[in-house]
């Protein structure tokens, strides 16, 4: 079964073009969302059926209530290692691995944050 990966807040619609998805292309379908989802209900509606979510910065909160409503979610990737809007304890309780990228002073291509996890064996 192929995995589905949602990239949130891809306002410029470049996440699937600028990042090199080839290392996971045979196992993962990446879908970017250019619109921002303002409510938990809207997020659940959009993300139901996704195994992986890539969230950019701290725009989208992932509280326990949201994680409980996304039973298929197994991997949550954030740009940066510190993300105060992700409930890490709830993610762990629901079997969701949370990972991120090292922070630097230069801009990165956030969509590529899922690739290190795939190469590390998190995405199988």
Q: Are 49 and 6 in contact (CB under 8 A)?
A: no
Residue 97, φ and ψ in degrees, nearest 5: -80, 130
- Where do the domains of the chain lie, and which CATH numbers do they carry? 3-119 (3.40.50.720)
For the chain, residues with pLDDT lower than 50 are 124
pLDDT value of residue 78: 87
pLDDT value of residue 123: 55
Dump pLDDT digits (tens) for 16-44: 888 888 899 999 999 999 888 989 999 99
| pTM of this structure | 0.78
């Amino acid at each position: 079964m192929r995995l589905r990966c949602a990239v949130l807040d891809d306002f410029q619609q470049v996440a699937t073009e600028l990042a090199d998805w080839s290392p996971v292309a045979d196992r993962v379908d990446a879908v970017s969302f250019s619109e921002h989802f303002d409510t938990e209900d809207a997020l659940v509606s959009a993300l139901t059926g996704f195994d992986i979510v890539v969230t950019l910065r701290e725009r989208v909160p992932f509280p326990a209530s949201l994680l409980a409503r996304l039973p298929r979610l197994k991997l949550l990737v954030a740009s940066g290692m510190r993300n105060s809007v992700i409930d890490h304890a709830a993610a762990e309780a629901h079997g969701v691995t949370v990972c991120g990228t090292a922070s630097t002073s230069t801009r990165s291509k956030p969509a590529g944050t899922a690739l290190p996890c795939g190469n590390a064996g998190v995405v199988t």
